[in-house]
Amino acid sequence: MADRMEEQETEQEKTTRRKMKKILLIINCALLALGTSGGPLIMRLYFIHGGKRVWLSAFLETAGFPLMLPPLAAAYIYRRRQSKKTSSAAVISMKPRLFLAAAVIGTLTGVDDYLYAYGVARLPISTSALIIASQLAFTAVFAFLLVRQKFTAYSINAVVLLTAAAGVLAMHASGDRPAGESFKQYVVGFVMTLGAAALYGFVLPLTELVYKKTKQITYSLVMEFQFVMCFFASLVCCIGMIIDNDFKVIPREARNFGLGESMYYGVLVLSAFMWQAFFLGAIGVIFCSSSLLSGILIAVFLPVTEVLAVIFYKEKFQAEKGVSLFLSIWGFVSYFYGEIKHAKKVKRNSETELSQINVPDL
């Protein structure tokens, strides 16, 4: 009788954990959607109205990490209340190896931030957004190599379509080159953006691998990981700002900003907020699901960014972008249709196994 009660409690705990993970997944998807769409738009707004500091823009992509302090404090208070002995709840639950892993990934992210910021400075958002969608192909390859990600026909189809969507733009390279920009600058921006996609396609599965290697990973630990990662990424960009004399130029740039000095600082703060939502959403989705899903969601939300850029910044919408958008949506639908079919199959199999167990022996 006692064993049966323990089994029921265990099942209840598992059900509760699954529900909590679903809620967390929804929240992180919302954060990822906000960051993926809002981050590039605000960054481009900075460059359109006179901003020129690439390292500063890269720094803002992760400089919002202090925003993590309130939820980290709340997580610590919760751990203390759950703990039988108050003194047993550590302020920092990260082990040295996990801290080192977060520092390494943060350093790579800092480099990736610069590559991406350089691309946004040179390319229209509607173009750079679709080039970044190619990171899904890199994510898929590295996910297979690092975490042995299993693929279905639907997920493979999604990766191919979303990658092809980015490739279509390459056939019309420089067709939407901003006024006053040379062909060389445009090509360098294109290559740097593609490099950012490749590097982040490596960072996502690497983060998932770290999660898998870490025993008893929790969401509070994920937030600590995010904090350390963003700190080191910001440190890399801060060093770049010092070398490039960005700190000396900021006051003068603010005075000459097209939207006014107060709006200049408002844009910087909003940019930091949007990008922090992006990074928290990305690693949160990895925790709740996988790096492949995180990559697919990033690729899916990018066409939204493209459409918003056409609406707000009056960017050109050539036929190639229309085809690219269609392929992106098709890939998105393909992936989630496959996931729904797989979930139904798993549910049917589990119900069949449960019914066979409950059938009494004759």
pLDDT in tens, 203-219: 999 999 998 888 778 88
Q: Cα separations (Å) of 289 from 39, 275, 314?
A: 23, 21, 37
**Token reading at 291:** 């790096």
CA–centroid distance for 27 within its chain = 13
Task: Give the whole-angstrom CA distance, residue 192 versus residue 257.
Answer: 26
Closest alpha carbon to 168 in 328, 325, 327, 320: 320
- Out of 9-23, 38-52, 192-206, which region has the weakest mean confidence (pLDDT)? 9-23
Helix 96-122, helix 183-213: angle, nearest 10? 160
- Place 49 in a pLDDT band, splitting at 50, 70 and 90: very high
Task: Give the whole-angstrom CA distance, residue 295 versus residue 313.
Answer: 26
More confident position, 339 or 282: 282
> Could you count the other beta carbons within 10 Å of the beta carbon of residue 180?
6
CA–centroid distance for 175 within its chain = 29
Whether 321 contacts 305, CB under 8 Å: no
Whether the pLDDT of residue 243 is over 80: the answer is: yes
Task: Give the whole-angstrom CA distance, residue 254 versus residue 263.
Answer: 9
**Token reading at 131:** 């080039």
**Token reading at 29:** 């998807």
Task: Give the whole-angstrom CA distance, residue 316 versus residue 309.
Answer: 9
Helix 125-132, helix 2-48: angle, nearest 10? 150
Q: What pTM, to 2 d.p., does this model score?
A: 0.82
CA–centroid distance for 33 within its chain = 9
Q: What is the pLDDT of residue 65?
A: 92
